[in-house]
């Protein structure tokens, strides 16, 4: 977490809590997960800010935003073994 200023850590904490509570569905990928967010719960700019902050913290993750109509999705992928890290890091999300 030294990669973020205290201000950025606070922003990250708020955005992460919002992300975790907005997940509508989880799709397992070969190299990670795709999270579909409930329509209207997250603005594109908020998700983009989360991606920037998460990338500072965990540069080994690949985060890709996707938008289809009102719905947003976030793909979180990486190298072998990253799924275990994602499940542990985002433990508030049900990956089953």
The pLDDT tens digits of the residues spanning 16-41 come to 999 999 999 999 999 999 999 999 99
Does residue 38 lie in a domain region? yes
Domain assignment of residue 59, given as a range: 6-89
Long-range contacts of 80-83 (CB under 8 A, 24+ apart): 82/31, 82/32, 83/28, 83/31, 83/32, 83/33
Q: How much is the pLDDT for 2?
A: 76
Tokens matching residue 70: 């009102």
Q: What is the spatial order of strands in the sheet that 32-37 belongs to?
A: 23-29, 32-37, 71-77, 62-68
Mean pLDDT of 35-58: 94
pLDDT value at residue 3: 81
Look at residue 68 and tell me if it is in a domain: yes
Mean pLDDT across the chain: 94
Which residues are registered as beta bridge partners of 37? 23, 72
**pTM higher than 0.85, yes or no?**
yes
The Cα 70–Cα 23 span in angstroms is 14
**Domain for residue 1, yes or no?**
no
Asked, for residue 94, whether it belongs to a domain, the answer is no
Mean pLDDT within 1-20: 91
Q: What is the CATH number of the domain that holds 30?
A: 3.30.1360
In a domain, 19, yes or no: yes
| Average pLDDT of span 67-88 | 94
């Amino acid at each position: 977490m030294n990669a973020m200023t205290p201000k950025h850590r606070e922003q990250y904490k708020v955005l992460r809590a919002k992300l975790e509570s907005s997940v509508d569905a989880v799709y397992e990928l070969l190299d990670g997960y795709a999270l579909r967010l409930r329509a209207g719960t997250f603005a594109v700019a908020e998700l983009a800010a989360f991606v920037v902050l998460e990338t500072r913290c965990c540069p080994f993750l690949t985060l890709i935003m996707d938008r289809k109509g009102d719905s947003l999705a976030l793909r979180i992928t990486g190298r072998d073994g990253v799924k275990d890290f994602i499940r542990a890091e985002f433990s508030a999300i049900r990956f089953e």
